[in-house]
Amino acid sequence: MFTIISRIFHFGFKNFWRNGWLTTVTVMIMTLALLVFSWLIFFGVVTSRAAASIEDKIDISVYFNTNTSEDEILSIQQSLEGLSQVQSVDYISRDQALAIFKQNHAGDTTITQAVNELDTNPLEASLNIKAKNPSQYGAIADYLNSSDLSQYVDSVSYTQNQSVIDRLAKIVKTVEVGGVIVMIVFALLAGLVVFNTIRLAIYSSREEIGVMRVVGASNALVRGPFVVEGTLCGAIAALLSLIISAPILFAINPYLNIFIPGMDLFQYFLSHIVALFFYILFFGIVLGAASSFVAVRRYLKN
């Protein structure tokens, strides 16, 4: 058994170096395929961050009557935080609301002067509520509009923003589902391209396979070297794909940050480079070995 395994690896390495141009072409094609695979991972990170960025912009506010005491509002805040649909609740007092209003209109002297002349604070205290999922805002709004709370609540922004929230929720869902579909389609296409490339490489060795079959070589001894060769191609392609990805990610990172604030894809690449390498290496080895295993099978049937 040891002799057979050592011969398989010996002939596999020998074929890898002997078939220079075919090996080069195979590695190049596999590098492109693994680049697609690695960029699908990055695409998944970007779409996930984009979806999170959209979700972060979605919230609803409940405004309380000016005669509602702070203790009652804080009690309602506590009850909201106990709901399974709620992620966070932020309390904005009437004084805070007035300060924010003045800050937002600091450049408008007319509004600033009018506010300063008021004897009382006309603004209402409010709670800003974020749900765990955009689709859950309807249930939260229904809770706020219940008879127990209606005596304290002046208005809930969900009614005015319902169409916008629903639209954003659909965008988030579309981005997530679309990202998965794109990943599957491109992974299948990459696999088919690599498989056909390796088939071409094995086709050039069909006479050698025929001779080995004539002299009585076992299927494992015939197939093994091609599997080893495909594994080597996959491993080298995995390393090259990461080397090529690094400068591209560095170059496009500033532009991504413009469209998705807080998105640092290059930093993600650096912090996850070991895990990414093993993912891509595993995919490359499996792709090369499996393609070689299947491609050589037709010559073992003859």
pLDDT at res. 23: 74
List the structure tokens of 301. 């049937």
pLDDT at res. 244: 92
Q: Lowest-confidence range among 4-13, 20-29, 136-145? A: 4-13
Q: In what order do the strands lie in the sheet with 126-131?
A: 86-92, 126-131, 60-64, 153-156
Ordered by start, the domain boundaries in the chain are: 2-54+170-300, 59-161
Region of residue 62 (left: phi > 0; alpha: psi -120 to 50; beta: else) = beta
In the predicted model, is pLDDT for residue 256 greater than 60?
yes
What's the mean pLDDT in 1-10? 64
What's the mean pLDDT in 169-179? 72
pTM value?
Answer: 0.61
In the predicted model, is pLDDT for residue 302 greater than 60?
no
Residues contacting residue 45 through CB under 8 Å, at least 6 positions apart: 265, 268
**Cα separations in angstroms, 301 against 83, 201, 210:** 64, 18, 11
What's the mean pLDDT in 41-55? 77
pLDDT at res. 90: 92
* Residue 15 host element (H or E): helix 2-18
- Across 7-21, 130-144, 232-246, 282-296, which has the greatest mean pLDDT? 232-246
- CATH tag, 59-161: 3.30.70.3040
